[in-house]
Amino acid sequence: MTHTETIRFDGRILFLCEDPAVIERQLAGQDLTLQEAQPLRTDISTDEISPTWITYHYDEKLGDYPYLGLKAGDRTPIVPNSVRNGGFGVTVAGRRYGKGSSREASPFAEWCAGIRLVIAENFERIYRQNCRNLGIFTSTDFGLIDRIRRGEAIPVEEFTRGEDELTTELIRRRGLFNLMRARRDGWTLPPRPTAPRPMTYAEKIIARASGGATVRPGDSVFAKADWRYAHEYSSPLGIAALEREMGTDVRLHDPSTIIFFSDHLTFVERAMPEERKKIGMLDLAQALAKVQQRFSRQHGATLHGFLKDREGSEGISHSIMSERYVLPGQLAIGTDSHTTHCGALGAFAFGVGSTDMACAWLTGEIRTQVPATCRVKLHGRLRPGVEAKDIVLHLLRLPYVREGRAIGQVFEYTGEVVATLGTDERSTLTNMVAEIGGMTGLVIPDAETVRFLRERRGIEVQLEPWMTSDPDAEIEHVLEVDCSSIEPMLAQPGDPGRGMAVSELPAPVRVDIAYGGSCTGGKREDLQRVHEVLHWAQDHGLRVAEGTRLILQFGSQDVREYCARQGMLDTFERVGAELIEPGCGACVNAGPGVSERPDQVTVSAINRNFPGRSGPGQVWLASPSTVAASAIAGHILSFEQLRARAVA
């Protein structure tokens, strides 16, 4: 391949606009200018590119459905096959394109429908990496639109300008499997400068995982992964890609460090609408776990699957990885954007797409670019009733995050508030870096980390002197947060970044469903917060409000057993809560806790509330205690407000 190679984009250009009528005109055959298409949709999530139920497909059938969940105005104007039948080859949108889930099914659906280039103001890290792994070009240059319309052949180097050598090679070779084959045939990454420099804790982990040399932000490396894990919702796409590209008799690198989970679709039968069952979607969904079971058996990998004696699973992948596997200083990858959860243990943990994982299964390595670090200093003292979820919802509404300036960065949490938080609460901070758009969240391991590992896992860990950021390490940005000013928070329906204090609600918001669970809200400390509210309610003769369902779902069997030992289950049941075995279905529209009608209102402890994410209704995000208090009141309010009302 040469640097003068060009590519011609022959398909039509599809502008994803705020006005549904403008989109419909394009689907009907009209071509628009960029000016005519304005304003463009921003913050388009992968849930909108490929809704959860669409991704039960993991083959070319996905090409029938790209953008099926795209919300424009009050409509979803794109219908099955309209993109492919419209002859589109280029998609154009606004800022923060591809936010949310790490699902590679989204760019794969675009690819199968004929899209070969996506232009946007900026891109979420995992989405853009997935595009490059598949051979889809991405650009922030809107000047390409007129050039493509004129039929101009675009030099490939315009898509590699400013990129490091490894990313450039990936783009030139049109995908990660092609690059992996080139490595097998002798291509190597040129040596990078290794002059010593002060490094952040994140940089030190990457340096150690990639051979021990000094790294700096912007470097791309192949890093050894201590853990590679996947769940049944995403692994079949990677399994299919691996077997398609490399054959079915491949040998995986060190299967003892490959972990599979059945956690996303455990209760899908309960939540799937009858009309989808009638067209075979339930069979497709349930077949995903069977693909994973077959693959894990074939290669001798560990599988945490469904329970044998009752409905449910062993637990959510991130919960179990923290409870049983990941250690400080390790590097872990998972096919889920919330792999960042494990950063609370001082591990560098991040989400990857299915192709990344397939290649990592084979080689034991992950291609990654060293990220810049944003240091988040959490000062002050938390008010009563304020939890880690409230801190994150506050961070999400800050301009630095909302403008997309944090995309791809490490969020290193520090400060006196972090020192007071347990590891479960720290996990909420790192978990929801996925919503912030960062690469991962990290808490430098300390005495609390050692305590957690001793009490939860029965192991003694000696922290090593290198496990810290050097005092003069390069920090891209510092966020100073006065936590004493943070109140119990909410995220309004549609996006986790639509934060507001509970006290700012102009009028009561009734609640049909209150859901406590998921990787973000189903940990021990989360259920302890819920129990505090419900125990108070029981003492005051209160129950879950009439017309409201309170659904509590454990993050793992370890959490469920802890709640049983502490006597929490009796309290939960006495006040009218419904208890669900572990799984994360409500978070992906595939289990109890999802809405059934557009007029329903949910207050939920999950981590994201994009349109359609948890049913057709309106989803408000909140902390576990706010979810529980709202269930008792029948409308959204904090625990402090509930107690104040009882006194009054």
- What is the predicted pLDDT for the residue at 1? 42
Q: Which of 90-99, 134-143, 269-278, 405-414 has the lowest mean pLDDT?
A: 269-278
Cα separation, 508 vs 511, in Å, equals 9
What is the per-residue pLDDT for 312?
86
Closest to 348 measured CA to CA, from 442, 445, 220: 442
| Residue 193 pLDDT > 80 | no
Q: What is the pLDDT of residue 586?
A: 84
Q: Please calculate the CA angle 83-89-94 and round it to the nearest 5 degrees.
A: 85
Q: What are the C-alpha distances in Å from 369 to residues 126, 220, 438, 470? A: 12, 4, 13, 20
Q: Indicate whether 100 pLDDT > 90.
A: no
pLDDT of amino acid 406: 93
DSSP strands (E only) in 209-324 = 220-224, 227-231, 258-261, 302-304
Q: What token pair was written down for 508?
A: 């009561």
Are residues 141 and 111 in contact, defined by beta-carbon separation less than 8 angstroms?
A: no
CA atoms within 13 A on the CB side of 208: 17
Q: Which two tokens stand for residue 490?
A: 């909410």
Tokens of residue 7, six digits: 């590519």
What's the whole-number mean pLDDT along residues 598-621? 92
CA pair distance 78, 40, nearest whole angstrom: 15
Both tokens assigned to 491: 């995220």
- Cα gap 357→366, rounded to integer Å: 8
Contact of 386 with 367, CB cutoff 8 Å: no
Question: What pLDDT does 340 receive?
Answer: 97
Written as one string, the DSSP assignment of 39-61 is: SBP-S-BHHHHS-GGGGG--SGG
SS (H, E, C) 371-418: CCEEEEEEECCCCCCCCHHHHHHHHHCCHHHHCCCCCCCEEEEECHHH
Which architecture, in CATH terms, is 6-184?
Alpha-Beta Barrel (3.20)
Q: What is the Cα–Cα distance from 603 to 516, expressed in whole angstroms?
A: 9
Amino acid 469 reads S
Helices (H), 6-101: 20-27, 34-37, 46-49, 82-85
Number of helical (H) and strand (E) elements in the chain, helices listed first: 29, 24
Res. 101 pLDDT band, cuts 50 70 90: confident
Confidence (pLDDT) at 213: 81
| Model pLDDT for residues 336-354, shown as the tens digit of each residue | 999 999 999 999 999 999 9
Place of tokens 């077949």: 287
Class in CATH terms, 489-647: alpha beta
DSSP-derived pairing of the beta strands 220-224 and 137-139: unpaired
pLDDT grade for 557, boundaries at 50, 70 and 90: very high
CA-CA distance, 576 to 574, in Å (whole number)? Answer: 5
Instruction: Please check the confidence at residue 610 and state whether its pLDDT lies above 90.
Output: no
- Per-residue model confidence (pLDDT) at position 434: 93
Higher pLDDT, 2 or 479: 479
Query: What pLDDT score was predicted for residue 427?
Result: 98
The answer to whether residue 593 scores a pLDDT higher than 60 is yes
3-state SS assignment for residue 268:
helix
Fold agreement (6-184, 371-485): no
Architecture of the domain spanning 201-366: 2-Layer Sandwich (3.30)
DSSP secondary structure string for all residues of 453-476: HHHHH-------TT-S--TT---S
- Examine the pLDDT at 388 and tell me if it is beyond 80: yes
CATH 1.10.510.10 holds for 371-485: no
CA dist 585 and 312 (Å) reads 11
Predicted confidence at residue 648, as pLDDT, reads 66
Mean pLDDT estimate for the chain: 95
419-451 pLDDT tens trace: 999 999 999 999 999 999 999 999 999 999 999
b/e map of 396-433 (b: 16 or more CB within 10 Å)?
Answer: bebeebbebebbbbbbbbbbebbeebbbbbbbbbbbbb
Cα end-to-end distance, the chain, whole Å: 75
pLDDT the model gives residue 52: 86
Q: Are 554 and 578 in contact (CB under 8 A)?
A: no
Q: 303 with 320: CB under 8 angstroms?
A: no
How far apart are alpha carbons 627 and 531 in whole angstroms? 11
In three-state secondary structure terms, 489 is: strand
Residue 536: closest CA among 421, 392, 640, 407: 640
- Confirm if 366 and 360 have CB atoms less than 8 A apart: yes
Q: Which long-range contacts (CB under 8 A, 24 or more apart) does 242-248 make?
A: 242/358, 242/359, 242/361, 242/362, 245/177, 245/358, 246/177, 246/362
- DSSP code per residue over 507-545: S--B-SEEEE-HHHH-SHHHHHHHHHHHHHHHHTT--SP
Phi, psi angles (nearest 5°) of residue 575: -90, 0
Instruction: Compute the residue count for the chain.
Output: 648
List, for residues 446-490, the tens digit of each pLDDT value. Answer: 999 999 999 999 999 999 999 999 999 999 999 999 999 999 999
The angle formed by the CA atoms of residues 50, 260 and 184, to the nearest 5 degrees, is 85
pLDDT of residue 334: 97
The H-or-E segment that residue 619 falls in is: strand 618-622
- Confidence (pLDDT) at 528: 97
Kindly list the distances between the CA atom of residue 249 and the CA atoms of 243, 295, 299, in Å, as whole numbers in the listed order: 8, 11, 10
Domain ranges of the chain: 6-184, 201-366, 371-485, 489-647
Q: Identity (one letter) of the amino acid at 75? A: R
* pLDDT band, very low/low/confident/very high, at 2 (cuts 50, 70, 90): very low
- pLDDT tier at 241, thresholds 50, 70, 90: very high
Alpha carbons 379 and 609: distance in angstroms, whole number: 28
Q: What element of type H or E holds 361?
A: helix 354-363
- Residue 473's CB is within 10 A of a number of other CB atoms, namely 18
User: In sequence order, which residues have a C-beta less than 8 Å from that of residue 510 and are 6 or more positions away?
Assistant: 547, 601, 634, 635
Q: Which pair of tokens denotes residue 377?
A: 């200093």
What is the per-residue pLDDT for 585? 78
Q: Which of 268, 270, 273, 232 is nearest to 103 (CA)?
A: 232
